[in-house]
Amino acid sequence: MTVAKTCVLVLDCAEPERLAEFYASLLGADVEAGGDPDFVVLTGGSGTVLAIRRDHGYAPPSWPRPDDAQQAHVRVLVAPEDLDEAEREAVALGARPVAAVTQPFVPGAREDRRHEERTFADPAGHSFTLAPAAPDEGVR
């Protein structure tokens, strides 16, 4: 039998409070103040948990340059009809657009619409993607 577990993605950066506010605003989450100023946790009503940790020697990821790995990224699911508004919110909060990729319709795929993902860099340089949620992913 496996012991019950949960998982939290931790993003490193130079200014955890600033990055926490960015993601709290983007995700509609709450910032949990703790005893350690170098570690901030965000929780959202939809079950979102994200942690931000100060790295005093932090250097942003260089993705999408081909010589370096992406490391990790946050995938933010959005109702398909809200994708444009979510993009405007992210940019207004300080995100920088990196790429938009539209995949053509594939017969037999889960969804009968084009699949579009929009990738951004957060204020600390981490990549995150706004992607349309499938109907069974419970966004709304």
Q: Examine the domain organization and report whether 110 and 41 are in the same domain.
A: no
CATH code where residue 20 lies:
3.30.720.120
pLDDT at 5: 59
Helices (H), the chain: 16-27, 83-92
pLDDT at 110: 47
Which of residues 134 and 30 earns the better pLDDT score? 30
Q: Examine the domain organization and report whether 64 and 128 are in the same domain.
A: yes
- Among residues 5, 1, 13, 96, which one has the least CA distance to residue 58? 13
Last residue of a domain, one of 13, 38, 57: 57
The model's confidence at residue 19, banded by pLDDT at 50, 70 and 90, is very high
pLDDT at 18: 93
Domain with 119 in it: 60-140
123 φψ region: left (φ > 0), alpha (ψ -120 to 50), beta (else):
alpha
Q: What are phi and psi of 91, to 5 degrees?
A: -65, -40
pLDDT at 60: 80
Prediction pTM value:
0.71
Q: Examine the domain organization and report whether 139 and 80 are in the same domain.
A: yes
Q: Examine the domain organization and report whether 53 and 71 are in the same domain.
A: no
Average pLDDT, the chain: 79
Q: Examine the domain organization and report whether 27 and 74 are in the same domain.
A: no
**What span, in angstroms and rounded, lies between the C-alpha atoms of 28 and 44?**
6
**What span, in angstroms and rounded, lies between the C-alpha atoms of 109 and 68?**
31
Q: Examine the domain organization and report whether 88 and 119 are in the same domain.
A: yes
